[in-house]
Amino acid sequence: MEDEIKNLKSQMVFEEWSGSSSNKLSLTAVISPSSTPSSFTVKRHGNRFNLFSRRFLEAFVPEGFPNSVTPDYIPFQMWDLLQGLSTYIRMMLSTQALLSAIGVGEKSATVIGATFQWFLRDLTGMLGGVMFTFYQGSNLDSNAKMWRLVADLMNDLGMLMDLVSPLFPSVFVFIVCIGSLSRSFTGVASGATRAALTQHFALQNNAADISAKEGSQETVATMIGMALGMLLAHVTMGHPTFIWFSFLSLTVFHMYANYKAVKCLNLTTLNCERSSILLLHFMETGQVLSPKEVSVLEHVLPLWASPWSSNSTKSVYTRVRLGVRVSLLNSLEMTELSSYAGSQYEKAKYLLVNNKGIISIVMHKDSTTGDVIQGFIHALVMANLFNHNTTSLHMDSQTWMDKHYETFVLKLQSSGWKTERLLSSSITWRANWRHENPDKKIK
């Protein structure tokens, strides 16, 4: 028996594999018994350079890459790093101009004066960030693409103000405060949208890993950008024409790279516009578009900045008001609300009101995220039917919902869409409705 065990041990061979993903493992060594008793032979595969390069790469990409992230992660990060690089280069030019305007290097400048100006600049930025969060914080998730682009545009405006500040010394403080205010919007919007995009990229609940590796990528981009920026600032010093040409050229490239980055994103969450695109296409063809197909159709700029947008998409979801305040409805709307509350919407956790094509949604105080999606889709159906001059808007829209809504949701899920919630502005106002007997005596 002991001889059989010894023979089995003598034939046992071990393999060493390296890699962070099961389908990306590489053989690094084979350990097998040698002719000498109680000794083993190690045969290594590959070379140390490949091992080092693989370890180096793992410091910048998520574990399990590329299977641990969505397919749009690579093109987005490439364009994002390029736009970040241009930002850091321009930052050296704007910072140099700002320090010059404050008085660095001049004998007449005082420390207390420069400190006060810098303090006032930072204070304005802090207050601006709080104000922006108060007014737009709940909208950043629902329009991550647009706010990502707007954030970088505001950052460009902030750096432009710093570069302009030396030209207008009489209003220097006002200009730098405007620039600080713009950058404060950038900080809030960029941070919030980045969190939403990180969740989108994470396929294996690895949002923290993706965020950490992005920090490493940005660190390298920052160092390269600062070095190139210092070189550019040194070369263009004393040549305003070259400074402005370099700054404006890099700004144009920065906005182009940002536009390409957000256009690469194929988000799978439902917001107001994506829901409208999906529903209109489903009502026409009975089919559901994929996230990649919807990404081509949706806007990354505000609608007022997209005059070429299609009227069908533009005129439907913009005519829906989600979570309206009941006390602000007029008498005609309240009459309509009361008449349908006890009939067609008896079991629903929302009520719809039509006022010349504007569909208002009153959400019940006990409504869930599923009720919000259903109410919004119902309102989109009603708004679309209004364009076709339907005689009985409420009845026809309810008939469509009864026949097609469940099928529509199932097709959304099978196409990769997340239907757990609708990304929209927070619903602040809700309502409750009940039947009261007018003949009942009050005790």
> What pLDDT, in 10s, does the model give residues 367-403?
999 999 999 999 999 999 987 776 788 889 999 999 9
Angle between helices 172-201 and 207-236 (to 10 degrees): 150
Q: What's the burial of 157, exposed, middle or buried (CB within 10 Å: 0-12/13-18/19+)?
A: middle
Q: The whole model's pTM is what?
A: 0.80
Give residue 266's pLDDT band: very low, low, confident or very high (50, 70, 90). very high
What pLDDT shows up at residue 404? 96
Mean pLDDT of the chain: 82
Residue 224 has pLDDT above 80, yes or no: yes
Give residue 29's pLDDT band: very low, low, confident or very high (50, 70, 90). confident
What pLDDT shows up at residue 442? 42
Inter-CA distances, 18 with 23, 54, 58, Å: 11, 10, 12
Exposed e or buried b for every residue in 209-234, given b needs 16+ CB within 10 A? bbbebbeebbeebbeebeeebeebbe
φ, ψ of residue 121 in degrees (nearest 5): -65, -45
Percent of the chain with pLDDT over 90: 32
What pLDDT shows up at residue 270? 94
Instruction: Report the alpha-carbon distance of residue 55 to residue 306 in Å, rounded.
Output: 45
What pLDDT shows up at residue 443? 41
Instruction: Report the alpha-carbon distance of residue 55 to residue 366 in Å, rounded.
Output: 52
What pLDDT shows up at residue 285? 94
Instruction: Report the alpha-carbon distance of residue 162 to residue 95 in Å, rounded.
Output: 7
Ranges 191-195, 302-306, 331-335: which has the least confidence:
302-306
Give residue 190's pLDDT band: very low, low, confident or very high (50, 70, 90). confident
Percent of the chain with pLDDT over 70: 80
What pLDDT shows up at residue 52? 63
Residue 438 has pLDDT above 60, yes or no: no
> Per residue in 373-382, pLDDT tens?
999 999 999 9
> Per residue in 44-84, pLDDT tens?
766 665 666 667 777 788 887 878 899 999 999 999 999 99
Contact in structure between 204 and 68 (CB atoms under 8 Å): yes
Six-digit token string for 437: 């007997």
In Å, how far from its chain's centre is CA 264? 12
Pick the more confident residue, 40 or 271. 271
DSSP 300: S
Domains in the chain, ordered, with CATH?
Answer: 2-58 (no CATH), 73-265 (1.20.1250), 270-299+307-423 (no CATH)
Instruction: Report the alpha-carbon distance of residue 286 to residue 282 in Å, rounded.
Output: 4
Ranges 7-21, 208-222, 392-406: which has the least confidence:
7-21
Residue 207 has pLDDT above 80, yes or no: yes
What pLDDT shows up at residue 279? 96
If one counts every other C-beta atom within 10 angstroms of the C-beta of residue 121, the result is 22
Instruction: Report the alpha-carbon distance of residue 30 to residue 128 in Å, rounded.
Output: 61
Six-digit token string for 367: 């409504």
Instruction: Report the alpha-carbon distance of residue 253 to residue 234 in Å, rounded.
Output: 21
Give residue 105's pLDDT band: very low, low, confident or very high (50, 70, 90). very low
What pLDDT shows up at residue 26? 67
Residue 280 has pLDDT above 80, yes or no: yes
Instruction: Report the alpha-carbon distance of residue 133 to residue 129 in Å, rounded.
Output: 6
